[in-house]
């Protein structure tokens, strides 16, 4: 009799906490985990999108919690209290993208020390601290959990300046610092918590079809064409491409995978 390997992808009786679950990637990851029968709690500061997801997933095991990362002390306290009341998750995914209103000024030409420090605190510090505290909660409860953090190809390689030519988009100094830190911290977490059967991996997407952070609109057509020319698969990724990988890393199908940098980039970093 053939083994049913699809059962390894089932998240039945699993509880998932997703920070940033209302975003471009987060909402797709939420749907992927729900499709595998997980109970999903989405933490996000976008109440409007949260209410839309409530309606979309009304017959599923979905809960929305308003959650703001701007004050990390309050966010930490809220998460600790939520865990005390609702239990520790089996799966923790942080796909949030917190940034200041001046994020688009993070280029080498326009960046400032104040802007750098604010975004390091808002993005990098919230990622690392909350992931650490979730790992600790899993360790204390002896839960063989899966933690998934989000890096980027630009936490691994330098940004290709040619793709910004003739566009209003520029390189982002602060982004590369933040994502590089997240990627290596996920390795450190994996090294320490592997002894407690807790897996930690980082997903590193390449360019994804959607809006441009800080500009609030769809990507520039020239940027899209420039990007495609430099990508071996000649396209950007989709939220579905990322969500499928998140489902794999969250499930028992990846039970011996930890400390990896899971690259989803159409071959961008291969050349």
Query: How many CB atoms neighbour CB 176 within 10 A?
Result: 19
DSSP state string for 254-271: GTT--S-EEEESTTGGG-
Tokens 């982004």 appear where? 175
Nearest-angstrom CA–CA distance, 73 and 260: 29
Going by C-alpha positions, the residue among 18, 22, 13 that lies closest to residue 147 is 18
| Catalytic residue list contains 192 | no
Among 127, 154, 164, 175, which one carries the catalytic annotation? 175
Query: How many CB atoms neighbour CB 225 within 10 A?
Result: 12
The three state secondary structure string of 46-63 is CHHHHHHHHHHCCCCCEE
Nearest-angstrom CA–CA distance, 173 and 158: 10
Ramachandran angles phi, psi of 16, nearest 5°: -120, 135
Contacts of 54 (CB under 8 A, 6+ apart): 62, 64
Strands (E), the chain: 15-19, 39-44, 62-66, 91-94, 146-150, 199-205, 211-212, 217-218, 261-264
Q: Which residues pair with 263 in a beta bridge?
A: 204
On the 0-12 / 13-18 / 19+ scale of CB atoms within 10 A, 179 is: buried
Residues annotated as catalytic are 175
């Amino acid at each position: 009799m053939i083994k049913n390997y699809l059962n390894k992808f089932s998240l039945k009786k699993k509880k998932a906490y997703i920070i940033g679950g209302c975003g471009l990637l987060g909402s797709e990851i939420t749907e992927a985990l729900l499709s595998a029968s997980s109970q999903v709690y989405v933490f996000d500061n976008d109440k409007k999108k949260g209410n839309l997801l409530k309606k979309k997933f009304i017959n599923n095991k979905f809960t929305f919690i308003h959650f703001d990362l701007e004050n990390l002390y309050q966010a930490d306290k809220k998460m600790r209290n939520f865990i005390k009341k609702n239990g520790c998750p089996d799966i923790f995914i942080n796909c949030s993208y917190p940034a200041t209103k001046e994020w688009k000024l993070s280029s080498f030409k326009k960046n400032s020390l104040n802007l750098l420090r604010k975004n390091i605190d808002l993005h990098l510090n919230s990622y690392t601290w909350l992931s650490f505290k979730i790992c600790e909660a899993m360790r204390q409860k002896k839960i063989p959990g899966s933690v998934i953090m989000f890096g980027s190809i630009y936490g691994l390689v330098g940004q290709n300046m040619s793709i910004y030519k003739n566009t209003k988009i520029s390189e982002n100094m602060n982004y590369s610092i933040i994502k590089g830190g997240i990627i290596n911290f996920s390795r450190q977490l994996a090294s320490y918590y592997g002894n407690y059967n807790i897996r930690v991996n980082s997903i590193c997407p390449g360019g994804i079809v959607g809006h441009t952070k800080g500009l609030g609109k769809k990507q520039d057509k020239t940027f899209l064409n420039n990007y495609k020319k430099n990508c071996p698969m000649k396209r950007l990724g989709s939220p579905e491409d990322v969500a499928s990988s998140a489902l794999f890393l969250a499930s028992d199908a990846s039970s011996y995978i930890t400390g990896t940098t899971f690259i989803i980039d159409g071959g961008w970093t291969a050349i």
